[in-house]
Amino acid sequence: MLQCEMTFTAVRTRSPKCDWTYADYCRIPADGKRHEVIDGRHYVTPAPEPYHQTLVLGLASELRARIDKTGRGQVHIAPIDVHLAKGTVVQPDILAVAQERRAIVGKKKITGAPTLIVEVLSPSLSAHRRDRKVKLARYQRAGVAEYLIVDPVTRSIEQFVLAGHQYQAPRRCTDRLALATFPGVVIDLREVW
């Protein structure tokens, strides 16, 4: 029985806050949408548009070539469950886990903060707000060392790097992205757009 009484047949973008467990989250029926629980609130996002997925594939390929293939870590794409904390399970578009943190990658999910998370903005304003406010704050609290927000419209990436317990002011990248968490990894964004 779900601890959080939800009507899963109704499409909601945000639910009332309740006490979700990972087991509750796993009982959400498969409906082709992306379900996430952030600080006890259930969010539903429709399947992404083709250009969104083109950007995810392009950026993930570039990251994989420079991180996975060099033995520096693992790159994963959605759908993949990231259990950040009690009441928070997200599915970032792309994530990377540094080799020294590979123990957080389990058989069914990632438990803990990935080294790098990438979210590609979707057209909806609610998704924009969620990526720029709700997820940004949650990733910061969880200790995600680097968070990238990709804007397909402006063809730019906002790069947030954790300093202590807080993200520094973001750096805006349009042509070239140098990762802070994987020194020496530089992506020519003209290959992605």
For residue 109, the domain's CATH number is 3.90.1570.10
Question: Cα(74)–Cα(97) distance, rounded to whole angstroms?
Answer: 5
Q: Is residue 38 part of a domain?
A: no
Our count of domains for the chain comes to 1
Question: What is the extent of the structural domain holding 130?
Answer: 50-191
pTM greater than 0.85 = yes
Question: What is d(CA 33, CA 13) in angstroms, rounded to the nearest whole number?
Answer: 11
Residue 39 included in any domain: no
| Span 58-100, pLDDT tens digits | 999 999 999 999 999 999 999 999 999 989 999 999 999 999 9
Let me know if residue 30 belongs to a domain.
no
What confidence tens digit (pLDDT) does each residue in 118-173 have? Answer: 999 988 777 888 899 999 999 999 999 999 999 999 999 999 999 999 999 999 99
- Residue 14 resides in a domain: no
